[in-house]
Amino acid sequence: MLKRTILFSAMTLAVAGCNSTSNISPKSSTAIVKNQTQFEHYSAETFFDTTSIMGSSFSHDGQRILVSSDETGIFNLYSIDVKNGQKIQLTESTDTTYPVRYFPNDERILLTRDQGGNELFHLYVQTPNGTITDLTPGDNVRASFNGFSDNEKSFYVSTNERDAKFMDLYRYDAKTYKRKLVYQNNTGLNVQSISPNDAFLALGKSNSNKDSDIYLLDLNKKNAKPKLISDFKSEAQIFANTFSSDNKDLYYTTNGQGEFSQVWRYNLKSGLHSEYLKDDWDINTIYFSKSGKYRVKIVNEDSSAKVSIIDTHSNQALNMPNLPAGSLSSVNFSADESHISFYLNSDTSPNNLYSWTVGSSKIQKLTSSLSPKINSANLVQSTIARFKSFDGLEVPGVLYKPKQASETNKVPAVVFVHGGPGGQSRTGYSAMKQHLVNQGYAVFAVNNRGSSGYGKTFNHLDDKKHGEDDLQDIVWSKKYLQSLDWVNADKIGIMGGSYGGYMTAAALAFEPEEFKVGVNIFGVTNWVRTLTSIPPWWESFKKSLYDEMGDPATDGKRHRRISPLFHAKNITKPLMVVQGANDPRVLQVESDELVEAVKANNVPVEYVLFNDEGHGFTKKANRITASNAYVTFLNKYLK
């Protein structure tokens, strides 16, 4: 497995460059004529007049799919008819609500939500009449769903209610919701997979940011202790993906045999390990339909997700009808395995939900997410670009060239830095990035050293070198942009969310003459504080985090040296800071202090604070506000 991005990865729906979309009445757009072709400028309201949607769980009878959509401005649950795409709204919450799944034999649904972005997610059940019950109550409780038993009479939930640092596993009765403690986690061995027959738990232990192990716990043996089953002689990341449907094998991904993650199989009876699947890139995961008839494989191929589905009986790929260009995700199967649901996404098309009757010649498109005000021909398809960094290392990135850019019409550019440490910028629709590009800004989403997806060596090149070698990659990405004949070499800024926000502030503080402006979106500015105020539920990954960033007890001087806040006197270029007040990872005080410190330099600073958001912006209105703020700021100080 790859280095964990447990600290500062921007949330899936964070405004900082993820695949987020929305649906607010658009303002008017303007058109220009360039080289005899018409090209339209769209406002943020228009770009976010696009529906974000997630979830692909079938109802027990296969007639509906459970999704979460933000078409009203905030994510709520809907059921979608698989035949005609008709939607019925199921929740009307003012808190962002995410789908878990339908119950396997009736119309009840499981859902999850936190409070204002505090990441204390609870698990709820909703009955067909709309009654909602919190299955994991408590002010400081964090919970997650772990699946149904094969007999569908019970389901599993992890919570940290006993000890804020560790997640214990409970088995809930599917009718009464009475529960029983199945596994008490006292040592940081986290549940990764549960066998269909309820007999075994696969538990994961993080030893360092390069090494982890898998343990097997036999639940049928009284007083049994977890048994170590990973046996690599060198450091290796390993993660238990799933048990086989016949309960004979455990499948896990590991980079223990090379640069990239492969899938191996562990036979529970013989104890033998064997190679199962390999690829030239990281295999992120595999999983099976309930009977095991179909297998889904997801490969992280050069910043794009490649999904394949095979019939395990014939070992042949499913012959699906032709689809538009893009990447599949969230593949799910109906209970009888006759239907498949999935999403299709590309740079120029947001997530759309599809349903397919296996073996048929027609695929049903159930949603049309892109705003009808947008002509997709005006959106930009990215390319993968590579450049040599300061030490000769080849660094990749996802490059967006505005339609209006040319040798005679050079455009300003923004280097975009992803979250992490250890995240990755990928292809796929981003309303925020497309808005920037549409307004005439080139965007280069750089995957600097330390990013996931390019092998374990590349992934660890930034360990305890943050704000140093990885920052130089960002500086050299600017030099690459300056070599392009359609980029204005004197007008290049930097922006990013989460860890990318840190890199933005670090660039302005430690390389103050390189970038003209910076947009820091909930980025760390004070590592000394941040690394001593991490949420308690990260306890089992704390050693890995310290291997990545350094232990506050021994690396305090370095943390101070690489923290932009303590060097804010060096910041001379205009800065925008964007922050969620409820962020449990990057506390608001981090941004408050940086803003005040830079103001003292008589440098232009703009501060956008969302009182109802956390580490990532889920409400549509807030995403519009943020995207408008980025463009207004860049227009004022860069363009």
| pLDDT (mean) for 295-318 | 96
Do residues 74 and 93 touch, judged by C-beta distance below 8 A? yes
469-482 vs 499-510: helix axis angle to the nearest 10? 80
- Residue pLDDT, tens place only, 231-284: 788 899 999 999 999 999 999 999 999 999 999 999 999 999 999 999 999 999
| Integer Cα distance of 575 and 617 in angstroms | 20
- Residue pLDDT, tens place only, 597-611: 999 999 999 999 999
Amino acid 17: pLDDT: 36
| pLDDT (mean) for 60-89 | 96
Identify the architecture of domain 380-637 in CATH.
3-Layer(aba) Sandwich (3.40)
Q: Name the nearest CA neighbour of 189 among 201, 197, 199, 198.
A: 201
Q: Which residues contact 509 (CB under 8 A, 6 or more apart)?
A: 564, 567, 568, 570, 571
The first and second tokens of residue 624, run together, are: 């519009």
Q: Domain-by-domain residue ranges, the chain?
A: 94-365, 380-637
The first and second tokens of residue 220, run together, are: 């049928």
Instruction: Answer whether residue 42 shows pLDDT above 50.
Output: yes
| pLDDT (mean) for 77-97 | 96
Whole-model pTM?
A: 0.92
- What average pLDDT does the structure give for the chain? 92
Query: pLDDT exceeding 90 applies to what percent of the chain?
Result: 86
| Integer Cα distance of 553 and 540 in angstroms | 18
Q: Name the nearest CA neighbour of 4 among 534, 579, 589.
A: 534
Residue 309, SS3 per DSSP: strand
Q: What's the length of the chain? A: 639
Instruction: Answer whether residue 32 shows pLDDT above 50.
Output: no
Do residues 620 and 23 touch, judged by C-beta distance below 8 A? yes
341: left (phi over 0), alpha (psi -120 to 50) or beta: beta
Q: Name the nearest CA neighbour of 14 among 562, 496, 532.
A: 496
Comparing 25-29, 167-171, 553-557, 577-581, the range with the smallest average pLDDT is 25-29
Instruction: Answer whether residue 12 shows pLDDT above 60.
Output: no
Amino acid 25: pLDDT: 30
Res. 543 pLDDT band, cuts 50 70 90: confident
Give strand ranges (E) for 46-121.
53-58, 64-69, 76-81, 87-89, 98-102, 109-113
Longest distance between any two alpha carbons in the chain, whole Å: 78
| pLDDT (mean) for 154-165 | 97
| pLDDT (mean) for 367-371 | 96
- Phi, then psi, of 217 in degrees rounded to 5: -115, 120
- Residue pLDDT, tens place only, 433-488: 999 999 999 999 999 999 999 999 999 999 999 999 999 999 999 999 999 999 99
Amino acid 499: pLDDT: 95
Do residues 369 and 351 touch, judged by C-beta distance below 8 A? yes
Res. 542 pLDDT band, cuts 50 70 90: confident
Q: Kindly provide the b/e burial profile for residues 82-112, where b requires at least 16 CB atoms within 10 angstroms of the residue's own CB.
A: beeeebeebbeeebbbbbbbbbbeebbbbbb
CB atoms within 10 A of CB 425: 28
Do residues 498 and 14 touch, judged by C-beta distance below 8 A? yes
Res. 13 pLDDT band, cuts 50 70 90: very low
Instruction: Answer whether residue 105 shows pLDDT above 90.
Output: yes
Residue 376: burial class (beta carbons within 10 Å; 0-12, 13-18, 19+)? exposed
Res. 38 pLDDT band, cuts 50 70 90: low
The whole-angstrom distance between residue 262's C-alpha and the CA centroid of its chain comes to 21
| Integer Cα distance of 379 and 39 in angstroms | 10
Amino acid 369: pLDDT: 96
| pLDDT (mean) for 194-205 | 97
| Integer Cα distance of 332 and 343 in angstroms | 10
Give kind and range of the element (H or E) at residue 636: helix 620-637
Give kind and range of the element (H or E) at residue 124: strand 122-126
Report the CATH number of the 94-365 domain.
Answer: 2.120.10.30
Instruction: Answer whether residue 9 shows pLDDT above 50.
Output: no
Comparing 377-391, 496-510, 541-555, the range with the smallest average pLDDT is 541-555
End-to-end Cα, the chain, rounded Å: 42
Amino acid 537: pLDDT: 79
